[in-house]
Structure 1
């Protein structure tokens, strides 16, 4: 491929890409964003996290820290199903699947 475009053009393309990368790093540094690689200048590295990701992290933490309040209900339903005492009318299932309110079924 280099033979086809010539070594001078390949060198120019490489230099242009190096300049673009340098400009990007400079812009990122000005904004306080750095990559994951080590810094040879001793700069402290920062990671920019979007607000959406922060919200997801907060929601995940809330789920992890909340007690499992439904464990008793699940245990009771499991017992009723195994005993053959739990029956759901087909109309209720269909209404839920169609997104209808219970009083519309």
Structure 2
């Protein structure tokens, strides 16, 4: 059953926030697969009439997570916490290309 079928016209506009998964590597195909699946599901919901107004990947940069500290890396950009050097991950390039193609 879809959101639209369950809630009909009472379904408010939706913003998908903090959608992401942790992965340690700079080459992160698992994150690409995760994002592709979730964005695909969002597109299916939109095609069925759900008013999706935003989708926000968590997160742009590796950061401090309240429950996990610095041990989980959710960013599309790797941060070396010792040097602060930032390195775009495979998922960054994939998401950039998705956005460019969707314009």
TM-score range, shorter chain: under 0.3
Structure possessing the higher radius of gyration over alpha carbons: 1
Which structure has more RCO (C-alpha within 8 Å, separation ≥ 6)? Answer: 2
With normalisation by structure 1, the TM-score equals 0.24
With normalisation by structure 2, the TM-score equals 0.24
Larger helix percent = 1
